[in-house]
Amino acid sequence: VAMAATRSVMRAVRVFEFGGPEVLKLQSDVLVPVPKENQVLIKVHACGVNPVETYIRSGTYARKPALPYTPGSDVAGVIESVGEHVTAFKKGDRVFTLETLSGGYAEYAVAAANRVFPLPDKLDFRQGAAIGVPYFTAYRALFQKGCAKAGESVLVHGASGGVGLAACQIARACGLKVLGTAGTEEGMNVILRNGAHQAFNHSDPNYTERIKACTGPGGVDIIIEMLSNVNLDADLQLLSCAGRVMVVGCRGRVEINPRDTMSKESSIIGVSLFLATEEERHECATAVLDGIEAGWLKPVVGLEYPLEKVAKAHEDIICSSGARGKMVLLL
C-alpha cells in the first residue's frame, strides 16, 4: 500500500463517453503507468494526431476502446524506465513509437518494447511524432497491399497531410512517378518539395481532366485515397488496366458503378495498419528506419497544439481546409 501512495500523477487527456471533441477532458491527477515486462515508459515530448483518433472518439469506428481511455498512438520522447527483460532501451534514450498501450495524449505513456524505435539525432521530437502511423500506413498501402513497383505511377489523393506526404516521399525514393493533390496553393508547394513530380489542386473543378492529360490514355497504376467517400467514383475513371485504389481514409458512404472495375480489371483495396502481422510491421519498420538513415524520410510537421487545446486539434483535423503536414500535440 505504501508503494501505491508514492506513485506520481501526470496530466493526460481522458475520454469518459463517446462523442464530439468536447468529450476530451484534460486531467492533472492521472496515475503514471508502470511498465510491465517487455514494456517501456516514455516521457512524451510530442504526440501525433490522426484522423482515426477522431473516429474512435466519436464511437462510430469499428474498434471501440473500453471507457475511460486516453487517445493517441504515435509519440516521441525519452525513455523514463523499462520493464523486466527489456535490453534494447535504457533510461534517457530518444525514441518514437507507433502504438502506445496507455494512450499518447499524456505526459507519460507505456508501450511494448517491440513497438518502440530509436529516434536519430537528426530528427526532433515533433518529427518523431510524425513517423509512426503515417509512414507505416503509407508503406503498407504502397507495397504490402498495393504491390507498387518502380516505374509505375501513383496518385496520392490528399497528399499534403501526414500519410500523403509520407506516401510521396516513399514512392519517389522507390522509383515511382508521383502525382499528388492538395486543396491549397501552399499544400501543392509542400507536395512538390516532398517527392511529387506534379501537383494538382483538388478544389479546381477540372482537376481530374488535368490528371488524365498528364497520365495519358494509360491512366494511373495506383491511387492512395484519403477521402474515398468523395473521390472513389472519379478514381475508378483515372486508373490504368489492373490499376488499384488503396482506401486509406473514408468519412461516409459513396456510390460507384462496379462496371468501372470490370472494364479495366481494377481493384479497390482497403488498408488498415491495425491488421498488419508482426512480420509486416517489422518490414515497415525496417523500411522506415532505412529511409531516415538514407535521408529521404523527412517528416513534415504541420499545426502544433498544446495538450490544453486537444479539442481544437480534433476539430481542425476534420474541418480545416488543406493540411500541411502532420498535426502534433506538444507536451
316/161 Cα distance (integer angstroms): 12
Give the rounded percent of residues in the chain with a pLDDT score beyond 70: 98
| The pLDDT of residue 3 | 54
Q: Tell whether the model's pLDDT for residue 36 goes beyond 50.
A: yes
pTM surpassing 0.85?
Answer: yes
Q: How confident is the model at residue 2 (pLDDT cuts 50, 70, 90)?
A: very low
Q: How confident is the prediction for the chain on average, in pLDDT?
A: 95
Instruction: DSSP for 117-159, please give it.
Output: EE--TTS-HHHHTTTHHHHHHHHIIIIIIT---TT-EEEEETT
pLDDT tens digit string along 160-210? 999 999 999 999 999 999 999 999 999 999 999 999 999 999 999 999 999
pLDDT reported for residue 6: 63
Q: Return the amino acid letter for 59.
A: G
pLDDT band at 62 (very low <50, low <70, confident <90, very high): confident
What's the pLDDT score for residue 4? 52
Percent of the chain with pLDDT over 90: 93
Largest CA distance in the chain: 73
Residue entry with cell 526532433: 124
**Stretch 218-245: mean pLDDT, rounded?**
97
Domains in the chain: boundaries: 9-130+299-330, 134-274
Terminus-to-terminus CA distance in the chain, angstroms?
31
Q: What CATH topology corresponds to 9-130+299-330?
A: Quinone Oxidoreductase; Chain A, domain 1 (3.90.180)
Which residues face 156 on adjacent strands?
180, 224
- pLDDT, tens digit (0-9, with 9 covering 90-100), for 117-174: 999 999 999 999 999 999 999 999 999 999 999 999 999 999 999 999 999 999 999 9
Residue 235 has pLDDT above 60, yes or no: yes
At 85, give phi and psi (nearest 5°). 70, 5
pLDDT of residue 322: 73
pLDDT at 323 over 90: no
Residue 5 has pLDDT above 90, yes or no: no
Considering the four listed CATH numbers 3.40.50.720, 3.30.450.20, 3.40.50.1820, 1.10.730.10, the one that applies to the domain covering 134-274 is: 3.40.50.720
Residue 1 pLDDT: 47
